[in-house]
A and B are shown apart, each in its own frame.
Chain A
């Protein structure tokens, strides 16, 4: 099975712009979660989508949003970019919406640099 794929791998944007990142989960996986990784804050949960519905949300401002399509692919959008949004954005997929035997598998990430 192919792993989790994320596009693009690298992005450079300027403050005030918006950006959309894409994630394709492992085939058959219905849950997609997004994380932000920075040197200062580490890995932080952004949100999770399952069956096209946002199931959980982390403590991030409303500028961060996402969606999931019927084929389980997910996108996240960040509007009005700030310098502090520079980070590695990771996507993880799992087969269910969390449970006693669920495991999240991570993609390679999208490196976003905001200038």
Chain B
């Protein structure tokens, strides 16, 4: 079945630790890939997106993600997390020319000060 999988349900890190959140998708064909973040009490905000070109994309707040086509993966990374990064992170996929966005289950990140 077509799906988006996020490997970690809840990640707890200390400040300055490095972060990597996994995301795999099972859609064939051309896809657009996104990471959204939902801070407590706030709406979904776009962190970064991949449409084509350089598979390493940089987003806001020091986040980056790497698209590995052979692995159907789009993992999110940040070299040094801050307490303010505490939030829920969602990986999402749309098929080319389509706004039907499919989300992973989300990963809750808790950063301890």
Interface residues of A (CB under 8 A from B): 31, 33, 35, 42-45, 48, 50, 55-56, 58, 90, 92, 94, 97-109
Contacts and interface: CB of A to CB of B under 8 A. Distances in A.
A90 B44 contact: yes
A90 B104 CA distance: 16
Contacts of B34: 103
B102 A105 contact: no
Contact of B44 (A50, A58, A106): A106
A90 B44 CA distance: 9
A33 B32 contact: no
Interface string B29-65: 0001010100000111110010110000000000000
A100 B96 contact: yes
A65 to B, nearest CB: 17
